[in-house]
């Protein structure tokens, strides 16, 4: 068996087209859609991501302002900047770029982001709302998982889903979104004994551990749908996921890295910014 490729690029293009229409509609009402990104790191991967998000925003006519506070920024300074942007009526969406300096977690700092502008679902209030089925912006990567599955008409209701990873940005919200779609969800993490015994039960397997090759072919149920959220830099500088390439021979469908979730994540974040700008319906998960 060769797994069907869950390519995210076409879906991303359609999300960008929706976002472009919303930008035009906002402009007709005198609103210039604006995204603010707060950066407090010198991490190269983060810098690359911020640059690519900024240029993707510019291509859609979304103004992107970057507040670079430097890697030595104090937690209070970062929280104050997030609060200032939350109060600025010209700013519609706010992203706090990870990693953040030692001394505070991204979740703590993100409490300063107004949930109405929290387009990457980083404020714990957003995650709480997701968990109880209230309208909220979901973290873009978690939202991208369900969008990609929907795009390929993967049935979720009643199916056994396993999520590897329990971070607040990917694993937990992805599990909440799958649960809201009536999947039977198990979350695994670094202390899950015999990970492969659990993942091989999954009809839908979502992997977000940041460990290249963590999921081998033997860990995957034949015919399973596998979504790889992992993005790590390989020795040659290329981007690799968490799923071993040999899984292609066992799974029924597999999202590639790159070209799977990544483009859907970026486009979804920009679409969410237009929703925030136009006070549109952020949606409920159930």
What residues line the site for ligand NAP (CB under 6 A)?
A: 141, 164-167, 169-171, 188-192, 195, 208-211, 214, 229-232, 261-262, 265
CB of 172 to ligand NAP, least distance (A): 9
CB of 30 to ligand NAP, least distance (A): 32
CB of 105 to ligand NAP, least distance (A): 10
Beta strands in 135-276 (DSSP E): 160-164, 184-188, 204-207, 225-228, 232-233, 239-240, 253-254
Nearer to ligand NAP, 192 or 278 (CB): 192
Nearer to ligand NAP, 26 or 219 (CB): 219
Closest CA to 116 of 285, 286, 284, 277: 277
Beta strands in the chain (DSSP E): 4-5, 34-39, 63-68, 93-96, 160-164, 184-188, 204-207, 225-228, 232-233, 239-240, 253-254
Nearer to ligand NAP, 5 or 211 (CB): 211
CB of 94 to ligand NAP, least distance (A): 17
Cα-based distances in Å from 185 to 35, 147, 214, 269: 33, 17, 20, 25
CB of 1 to ligand NAP, least distance (A): 25
Nearer to ligand NAP, 115 or 139 (CB): 139
Nearer to ligand NAP, 265 or 273 (CB): 265
Token digits of residue 82: 């997030």
């Amino acid at each position: 068996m060769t797994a069907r490729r869950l390519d995210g690029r076409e879906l991303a293009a359609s999300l960008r087209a929706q976002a472009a229409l919303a930008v035009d509609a906002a402009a007709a009402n005198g609103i210039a859609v604006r995204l603010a990104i707060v950066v407090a790191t010198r991490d190269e991967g983060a810098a690359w991501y911020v640059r690519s998000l900024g240029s993707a925003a510019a291509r859609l006519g979304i103004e992107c302002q970057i507040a670079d506070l430097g890697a030595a920024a104090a937690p209070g300074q970062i929280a104050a900047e997030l609060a200032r942007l939350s109060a600025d009526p010209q700013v519609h969406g706010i992203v706090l770029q990870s990693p953040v300096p030692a001394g505070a977690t991204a979740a703590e700092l993100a409490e300063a982001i107004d949930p109405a502008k929290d387009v990457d679902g980083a404020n714990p209030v957003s995650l709480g709302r997701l968990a109880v089925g209230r309208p909220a912006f979901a973290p873009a990567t978690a939202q991208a998982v369900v969008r990609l599955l929907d795009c390929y008409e993967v049935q979720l209701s009643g199916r056994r889903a396993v999520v590897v990873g329990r971070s607040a940005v990917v694993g937990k919200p992805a599990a909440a979104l799958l649960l809201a779609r009536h999947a039977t969800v198990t979350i695994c993490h670094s202390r899950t004994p015999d990970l492969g015994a659990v993942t091989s039960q999954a009809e839908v397997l979502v992997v977000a551990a940041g460990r290249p090759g963590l999921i081998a072919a033997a860990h995957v149920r034949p015919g399973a749908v596998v979504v790889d959220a992992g993005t790590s830099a390989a020795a040659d500088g290329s981007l690799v996921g968490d799923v071993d390439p040999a899984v292609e021979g066992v799974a029924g469908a597999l999202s590639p890295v790159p070209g799977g979730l990544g483009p859907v994540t970026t486009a979804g974040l920009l679409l969410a910014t237009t929703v925030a700008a136009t006070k549109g319906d952020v949606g409920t998960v159930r």
